[in-house]
Structure 1
Amino acid sequence: MNNYNILVVDDDSEIREAIKIYLKNEKMNIIEASNGEEALKDLENADIDLIIMDIMMPKMDGIKATFKIREDKNIPIIMLSAKSENTDKILGLNIGADDYITKPFNPLELVARVNSQLRRYNNFGHKESKDEIVVRGISLNKSTKTLKVNDEEVKLTPTEYKMLKLLMENKGRVFSISEIYTKVWKEPFINGENTVSVHIRRLREKIEINPKEPEYLKVVWGIGYKIEK
C-alpha cells in the first residue's frame, strides 16, 4: 500500500484529529494546516498527494486557497462544507475541487472518497513529478523532453523545448526578447527579435487552442513574454 501524503486543512483541531485517526488506519501520512495560507506553505515544502480542504477558515478560506492551488497544481482536492455553504461548495467545484463532503460526515465515507480520488488520479490523472513542469493543461517532461497539451503529445524542436522550459520554469515572470535569446541560444543578442518572434509564434501554434488569443504564452507589450500562471 502506498504511503500517501494527505494535507488536511481545517481550523477545527478536533475535526483534523478525527480525520487523521481514520486515514492513519489506511497507512496514510497526515500533514495538518489550520487555514489556506498554511496549506500553501505546506505545498511548497512537501510532496502532497491529496488535500482535504474546509471552506470556512480564517486568514484564507478554502475557496481562495483552491483557486491559488489550481494555478499550477492538479492535486485532488476534497472540500468540506456545512449544509449552509451550498453556494461556496458549488463555487469550489467550479474552480477546481474534485469532490465534496458535507459536515457532519461519516468518517468511513470520507475514507472511501479519499481512496476513490487517489485511484482516479493515479490511474487516469496527471501526477506532477520532479521531472515535470505543469501549467494547467500543459506539461513538460524535462527527463524525456516531451510536451503534452491536454494529455496529447506534441512534438517540439530542441530550440522550442529550451524556450518553453525557460518560460514554464519561471511561470508568471516576464522575459524580454533579449533575455530569451541569450538564455536559449547562448550567444550575445544582436538583431535577434525576429528569431525569437518566429519561435514564439510556432510555440503558440502548438500549445494554444487559438494562437491569436493565447491562454498560456502571453505578450506583455513593450517588455516581453511570459507563461501565464
Structure 2
Amino acid sequence: MKKSVLCIEDNIEIGNLVKEKLEQRGFSVQWLLSGEGAEKEVLHHDVVILDIMLPGLDGFTVGRRLKEVSPMIPILLLSARTAIHDKLDGLQFADDYVTKPFHSDELIARLEVLIRRHHASETRARIQLGEHIEVDLSAQTVIDKHTRGEIILTGKEHRILLYLLENANQILPKEKIFEAVWDEPYIHGDKTLFMHIGHLRKKLEQNPDNPEIIETFKGIGYRLKR
C-alpha cells in the first residue's frame, strides 16, 4: 500500500517540487494550498507536511487543530523560519521541523522515520482479543472485526477491560479487580463485579457461556487471555 502524505503548502514552486519528488519515491500526495479543509482530509493520510506561513490560518493554528482531530498522525513542519523560538513553538505539537531550503532526500528520510514510528505506535495501541475483538487504546474503542462495528461499553465495563488488559494472562483476585475499578473496599459476597463481567462477556465473547477471552477461576477471580 502506498504511503499517503497530506502536503499543506502555498508556495507553488515548493509544492510542485515536494509532490513530484514524493511521487517519484512511491508516495501518494494530496496537496492543499491552505489549511482550509485539512481537518477533514488528515484522517486519510499517514503523515502531514505543513508550511508555517499560510494564507488565512497560519501553520501553527492549523497544526494544533489537526492534532486535536487526529493526535496520532505525525506532522512535519516546513518553514523558512530558523529562530529557535519558532522551532520550539512548532515542536509543541509537531513531530519534526525542517527549515527551507531543504534537500528532498532529507525530507523523504524524515517522513519515512515519522511513518515508521506512527505505524509502530498504532500496532502497539491495537490489541487483538480472541478471533474477532480489537481494542484500540488510542481511540478508546472496542471493535468487532467480523461486523466492523463498535462495541459500546459502559464506563465500568471499559475500566474493567482496561485493568484486565494491563494485567493480561494473570489470574487476578476479584477483590483486587473490584478495588482497582470502583476505588473502594470489596465487601465479601458482593455480586457487582460478577454482574459486570457477565455483561462484558455478552458483548465480547462469541459464546458467553464458554468464554475464551475472560476466564473464571472459581473462588479466586478472573484472567484475560491474550
- TM bucket normalised to smaller: 0.5 to 0.7
Cα distance in 2 between the residues matched to 1:40 and 1:85: 27
Matching residue of 1:142: 142
Q: Give the TM-score normalised by the residue count of structure 1.
A: 0.56
**Superposition pairs of residues 83-122 of structure 1, within 5 angstroms:** 83-94=81-92, 96-122=93-119
Aligned to 1:143, the other structure's residue is in SS state: strand
| Secondary structure in 1 matching 2:30 | strand
- How far residue 86 of structure 1 moved from its aligned partner, in angstroms, is 3.7
Aligned residue number for residue 27 of structure 2:
28
Q: Is the alpha carbon distance of 1:120 and 1:61 closer, same or farther for their aligned partners in structure 2, counting shifts above 3 Å?
A: same
Q: Which residues of 2 match residues 144-183 of structure 1 at below 5 A?
A: 158-160=153-155
* Superposed displacement of residue 133, structure 1: 10
Length, aligned pairs only: 150
Write the mapping of 1:45-84 to structure 2, written as runs, cut at 5 A. 47-73=44-70, 74-84=72-82
Corresponding residue for 1:6?
5
User: Residues 160 and 100 from structure 1, CA distance in 2 versus in 1: closer, same or farther, beyond 3 angstroms?
Assistant: same
In the superposition, the TM-score normalised over structure 2's length comes to 0.56
Kindly provide the amino acid, as one letter, of the partner of residue 85 in structure 2.
T
Runs of 5+ unmatched residues, structure 1: 146-156, 165-201, 206-229
2:82–2:99 Cα contact (<8 Å) kept? no
Once the two structures are superposed, what CA deviation does each residue of 1:62-100 show, in whole Å capped at 9, x if it has no partner? 100111111131101000011445422211101x20001
Q: Which amino acid aligns with 1:4?
A: K
Higher gyration radius (CA): 2
Unaligned runs of 5+ in 2: 127-132, 146-151, 160-180, 184-226
Give the distance between the partners of 1:81 and 1:29, measured in 2 at CA. 22
Classify 1:109/1:81 alpha carbon distance in 2 versus 1 (closer, same or farther; 3 Å).
same
CA contact (8 A) 2:134 2:144 kept: no
Q: Which runs of at least 4 in structure 1 moved beyond 4 Å after TM superposition?
A: 125-129, 131-134, 161-164
Change (3 A) 1:124 1:57: same
